[in-house]
Structure 1
Amino acid sequence: MCGRYTLLAEERDIQETFGLSDGISEYEPSYNVAPGQNVLSIIHDGKEKRGGYMRWGLVPSWAKDPKIGYKMINARSESAHEKPSFKSLMARKRCLIIADSFYEWQASQDGKQPKRIQTEDGSLFAFAGLWDKWQQGDEVLFTCTILTRDANTFMQDIHHRMPIILPKGKEADWIAPTVYRPEEAQAFLTSLTSVPLKAHNVSTYVNSAKHNDPECITPLTSN
């Protein structure tokens, strides 16, 4: 799964990396992005890419209670094309969720050790995501979820699941303004190659979503 991540890049770097022509309204870096917060996402509106914020935790358009979003921060890519909550979104509401690392907790006899995981070159990347619009009366929510897969060889010793990181050159394909059959979108995800990763231990300070400062990412002296 993916329950926390970081986004520390400069706004200009995000624009250049993902080909955004406009600025990002109210952009704020974060050392500890958590479920329920607004997260930077990119969609294609049929004319151009657009960057903006959605709440992390999917609330399907048909949901009666928006609190369901706290249970839907992740979606299993292996079955998303079959599930009522995600099937139509796989076809037409795909998004990028922008990050530069994510956290995972490795179980051990001494408890759970948080690790910060980055791409091998430390660059910006995009999680494969899905989004939806929920409305009840005057209340409108735009929300999203991160797609996950079985852990690759690198991640297997840390956790059995991992978020899907789109390889460079595949981000635009994922959000292309094309209506896929859900099975086609699932096949696209299955075809992706793994992005090389690296990791280091960080303090349990990051366990609290209230903490959002450099201490969250500071490497421990021993790994």
Structure 2
Amino acid sequence: MCGRYTLAKKPEVIAQRFDASLEKDTFRETFNAAPTQVLPVISNNNPETIRYFKWGLIPFWAKDASIGNKMINARAETLKEKPAFRKSLQQKRCLVIADGFYEWKKEGKTKQPFRITLKDNGLFAFAGLWDEWKDDKGNKVQSFTIITTDPNELMAPIHNRMPVILPPAQEKHWLSNDLNPDEAMDLLVPYNAADMEAYPVSTLVNSPANNIKELLDSLEKGAGAS
């Protein structure tokens, strides 16, 4: 699964990388993005703008917003079957912007957190789905989920799932309204392990209340990527 990630780059760098506008005044670096937070995404219905959606997908038909707490991830192999994701796969896809993510490896009775990044420490996009829900008063909530798949060779020793990271050449394709569900499913594969790296980090990341730059530091090297 993917339950925490990072986005610690400057807003102008993010805007340039994804060729989309981003309001600098509303952007905040995050070193420990967690479910229920409102975070930057690019949706297929407005690909020129980076917007802020709530992490934890609330289907349009949901009776209660709390369902989103269980919808932070969506397994790629079940997207066409699950009512919560089927329509979004067809019509509401998004890019979830990140520069790293955390996963926990079981080591005896403890779990050691790792941060996983691209080797060039660059920005990337998770494949995501989004939806829009209205409460009883007509207030709109736009939310998203991160799609997961089988682990690659780097991730397999750490966890049995990994988020789908889209190669840059496929990002616009994922957002295309001409993409049909079968074509979309073909994109949901493990990222090339040779282009990624993982390193252990402090257990301070275990609490979403901790959102400090030091979370990026490697326990092995004494300094993380910034």
Give TM class, smaller chain. over 0.9
Give the structure 1 partner of residue 140 of structure 2. Answer: 140
Compute the RMSD of aligned alpha carbons: 1.8
Residue of structure 2 in register with 1:206 after alignment: 205
Please give the residue correspondences for 1:40-189 in structure 2 after superposition, counting only pairs within 5 Å. Answer: 40-45=40-45, 48-136=47-135, 137-178=137-178, 180=180, 182-189=181-188
Cα deviations by residue, 1:13-48 (Å, 9 ceiling, x for unpaired): 1111111145456111101000000011002326x5
Unpaired runs of at least 5, structure 1: none
Report how far residue 75 of structure 1 moved.
Answer: 0.1
SS at 1:156 equivalent = coil
Query: What residue in structure 1 maps to residue 192 of structure 2?
Result: 194
User: Helix, strand or coil: the match of 1:133?
Assistant: strand
In structure 1, how many angstroms separate the alpha carbons of the residues matched to 2:87 and 2:24? 27
Q: Matched residues in 2 for 1:201 and 1:110: separation?
A: 17
Provide the C-alpha distance between the structure 2 equivalents of 1:26 and 1:177, rounded to a whole number of angstroms. Answer: 28
Q: For 2:65 and 2:90, how far apart are their aligned partners in 1? A: 22
- Deviations 1:31-88 (CA, angstroms, capped at 9, x unpaired): 1000000011002326x52211000000000000100000000000111122111111
Letter in 2 for 1:107: K
CA distance in 2 between partners of 1:49 and 1:179 (Å)? 18
TM-score (norm 1): 0.93
What TM-score do the two structures reach when normalised by structure 2? 0.92
Most deviating of 5-14 and 20-29: 20-29
- Partner of 2:145, secondary structure, is strand
Structure (1 or 2) with the greater helix fraction: 2
- The structure where strand makes up a greater share of residues is 1
Q: Distance in 2 between matches of 1:102 and 1:161?
A: 13
SS at match of 1:215: helix
How far apart are the structure 1 equivalents of 2:69 and 2:216?
Answer: 25
Q: CA deviation at 1:139?
A: 2.1
Structure 2 unaligned segments of length 5 or more: list them.
none
Which residue identity lines up with residue 7 of structure 1 in the other structure? L
Identity of aligned residues (%): 43
Q: Which moved more, 1:161-170 or 1:132-141?
A: 132-141
Equivalent residue of 2:169, what SS?
A: coil
Is contact 1:116–1:201 with CA below 8 Å preserved after alignment? yes
Cα 1:25–1:214 change in 2 (3 A) is closer
For residue 203 of structure 1, what is the amino acid of its counterpart? S
Q: In the alignment, residue 167 of structure 1 is paired with which amino acid? A: P
